Structure 1
């Protein structure tokens, strides 16, 4: 959230007991201070800005010049970087234009600690490393054991937990499909990779992805399903 694109005057509201039960000691906040409406000196409802154009900056050049908020809203009360996470719970489609305008092309999801203004991409070196790790998994995976795979963006991750921070950031920033796969060997030595619960619309992509890291493998999709547009694909 910064002044370089539209920022709506959003309001935080008290979510009751969820704060005490789920958020207060949540280690995933990574040392960031969690601002909770109704806790401490934060009122039960508080907006980003409660001032006017006379008291608070509204344009990027004002912020660049050093102007600051003097209101009693969040931007006036708090110092440092502000990460707005509550907007990820906006579910009403009527607010989609507001959320899209605020994101301005940025990813809808981001891992804590990652730069929300940098959409994760995979360059040629990243894809080479991804293919090598996938190839290693195919070569060394326990035969007939179920392992997870994820299709995110335009990448296939076998055993995604092994793909490090960059892989996890890439997955987190994209819509993704999670399923399981197995690896087996035919009597003639041909490796068979079986993908379970693979959407039909992902079949061609998966065949192409496997061809990059296991070109001699046979791909089997016994339970391909036709998932509708509301799925997480």
Structure 2
């Protein structure tokens, strides 16, 4: 059975994600195809063929091969009905009961194969990672920074398609600045104690991971970085002079901290701390 796994991510192991090892081994009978959509993925009626929009930086990996334990984050759950996915089982992080993020392997008990010898002996993945999906003959792992609904338009060249994507991203970010802040505010309010939220910061915007596709707008505007945020309420607060809580951030580039602090001040009464 062929699966398409679609989300935001890269082709490197994300050491911030737990549970799961940093590397894993593909079981026999499964082939992993790693694909990227660096300009975003266009879906919808009359959209370009999905496979023409994807790049394959690596060859396909068969059973017994050791690979990084890749991670995909949710982009939203609005793509399942697209005709381009006919014939495949679509797996989207955070949709259809799937966790967000989705990892290749979530094993923490040593139950999954870690060597070629174990894979050759028939060991499978009993974990709830992608390599544990039933009857997974082919896994198409698609790491995209954004997914867009196709707008019918004629492009003279690949360069004009890229220019349209960049212009679209800039327009969306500018038009939806208030919506982005509202989405960030909702994500912070929904976060439980100590929960780690994955975020993205560009030169002009900051978005909390649970804001769905808004982080993609920020990521599309040139140089960007991923960081993490933890929400810590102040349970011992006794007077109004004490902070209500703290937003603890890690891996925020020093030259982006002022932007991040300003955005979070619009979203939460908690104090911001960088580590």
TM-score by length of 1: 0.44
Please state which structure has a larger fraction of its residues in helix.
1
Q: Which has the higher contact order (CA 8 A, sep 6+)?
A: 2
Please state which structure has a larger fraction of its residues in strand.
2
Rg larger in structure: 1
TM-score by length of 2: 0.38
